[in-house]
Structure 1
């Protein structure tokens, strides 16, 4: 006899009630996740166990009338993984994205997360994951700020004033206690001003909106970058002050002189190596590099101008004390985050446990017993 299988369904309001927006706690859980990454107690997709996920990329043209065709930021992705430690669980984030969603009053991406028993594969929880994904995306640079930024940082710059950078800024602020000024840059000044108004209302500190990139980067102690993929971002070496920390969660380009004259910390170097493997397999390495956050670094590594990824620093090694993070107040540090399913799994697990403990969500039945085949 096979046992009955129930699993928990958590809607977006359920997720909020269960604590998905608790930025400080999310940073703590993500720091714990980085430690497990550094130790190797995890698995992700692909034969190398480090794939970001499997994407459905739509063709530019098709002979099938109902098949979707390529469009701005249009894709599906499955992001599976296993995370050890106290989590000891499998999960998968299912990611659908289409820039045209805005025309229907929908967010660009619509996400769900499934947690599964590692042994049987039985579902444990199905949850709304837009807020989950945004929270863990923000918490990753929050962990980086804790370990890489100067503690007396007074000016934070927000480059790209969308919902992802709001999550990043919220998490970063849980780790920095001396911030006095925030500069908010966006190519749309109205969005920058709106973000600045939100900062002033929530944090009671000075904030200004700007629409010129140089104003966004100059004189900032900590810079969080999460600009749109549809509008390429470029910044110059000369704009970045001594001692600055740049926390990158979105695509960018900059001067070669900056990238060869700063300390580089990746979220997880095996993930970055998997991206390079994918680029090699793509048949068009340069085009592939243009579409991923680490592309500017990979080009310089290929050219022998930066150390190989295997010799580079990952944040998990910094968290575990194996490699140094910031070594003095003067060095410029850049942190690169490309996103990993294990963070969705760890934060999803935390929210799932909260929900079970507090009686939040709806129990759904998979079967009382499976039908015989």
Structure 2
């Protein structure tokens, strides 16, 4: 800004790639700093409690208003606002629309954009493509969990749902745990499984074996890290389920999306330890919500944590936030036999952090298109 003039930087998908959005090592480092700030409380997200994942626009199941969009599975529009302090001191809003039918138009299911804004004036600083950015931060947060929560030198990684989230997550897993040499895969279609395997083969020559599994149980057996990257199913009961008997001692179980899990599994102390990216976010979602009646609870693992607390299966103190572990105030894994369960819900502070880092790289390397909002305040009169 200069004498009332406002310019901002526009970054297309290609610009984001040129600016280094795919730098997984850098993204993991940025997420580590983000979780430190999260633990210190130097952040704000939506809602009065400052911990909302985002604001969703819902549509009716039926309407007599011409042109009104109707509710459908995974059809949604969201805005995800956040402020992140520390070296970032930046406000941002990630927005996206999601429609599974986009595939018929050769478009991704979700189309995302991120706006960065000056936290004092509200002036736009950057407007950028956020599909890769969002996948990167999701993968990096999963990798951060593997860094702090996995047993020493894990060898076997299981991927349930080899889609976009899992592709970026596997990059981060191998970045932080290079001892991984075998990947077990459970997917719903051969095309996605083959694409995933070819992607990993091209980029990670340290992986010596791929095992395609017919069931979630088979995929979980004998694995050191078990990752669920599936999308929400149309019906609650069709989401993937994990049973404690399938999980070996010392394994790390994590989900970035939908997972059904028994509260008794979560409550099996001291054999099991639960870790959240941000428990306050899940407790906010659960406020005023009727608890499930099924033995298995939650289409999102973090909500299972909340349900277990409400059922008095575990106490709030039993749930450790990853930020406390990173800051050295809590211990993650207490021993090599302990099973750790880690919930990844996704937060807009992560988008702001990595968006800021990529923006800085774009400025340094003269990437993107500078756009003018207005020349001076006089032009507004």
Please give the range of the TM-score, normalised by the shorter of the 2 chains.
over 0.9
Q: Per-residue deviation at 1:2? A: 4.8
Task: Tell me if the contact between 1:71 and 1:99 (Cα under 8 Å) persists in the aligned partners.
Answer: no
Q: Per-residue deviation at 1:215? A: 1.5
TM-score using structure 1 length: 0.94
- 2:46 and 2:86 map into 1 onto residues whose CA distance is 19
- 2:146 and 2:6 map into 1 onto residues whose CA distance is 42
For 1:275, the equivalent position in structure 2 comes to 285
Q: Per-residue deviation at 1:170? A: 0.8
Moved more, 1-10 or 153-162: 1-10
- Secondary structure, counterpart of 1:92 in structure 2: strand
- 2:249 and 2:221 map into 1 onto residues whose CA distance is 11
- 1:285 and 1:54 map into 2 onto residues whose CA distance is 22
Q: Per-residue deviation at 1:293? A: 3.9
Q: Per-residue deviation at 1:264? A: 0.2
2:222 is the counterpart of 1:219 = yes
**What is the CA RMSD across the aligned residues, in angstroms?**
1.7
- 2:291 and 2:273 map into 1 onto residues whose CA distance is 25
TM-score using structure 2 length: 0.92
Task: Tell me if the contact between 2:259 and 2:298 (Cα under 8 Å) persists in the aligned partners.
Answer: no
Residues 3-50 of structure 1, C-alpha deviation per residue, up to 9 Å, x if partnerless? 210000000000001111111110110010000000000011111111
Q: How many matched pairs? A: 367
- 1:143 and 1:365 map into 2 onto residues whose CA distance is 38
Task: Tell me if the contact between 2:264 and 2:313 (Cα under 8 Å) persists in the aligned partners.
Answer: no
- 2:10 and 2:380 map into 1 onto residues whose CA distance is 26
Q: Per-residue deviation at 1:316? A: 0.5
Which stretches in structure 1 are left out of the alignment for 5+ residues?
none
- 1:36 and 1:290 map into 2 onto residues whose CA distance is 28
Residues 28-73 of structure 1, C-alpha deviation per residue, up to 9 Å, x if partnerless? 1001000000000001111111111111011101121111110110
Q: How does 1:97-108 map to 2 (within 5 A)?
A: 97-108=98-109
For 2:310, the equivalent position in structure 1 comes to 302
Residues 198-233 of structure 1, C-alpha deviation per residue, up to 9 Å, x if partnerless? 323322221122231111110000111111212510
2:335 is the counterpart of 1:328 = yes
Task: Tell me if the contact between 1:188 and 1:211 (Cα under 8 Å) persists in the aligned partners.
Answer: no
Which stretches in structure 2 are left out of the alignment for 5+ residues?
none
- 1:55 and 1:286 map into 2 onto residues whose CA distance is 22
- 2:29 and 2:92 map into 1 onto residues whose CA distance is 20
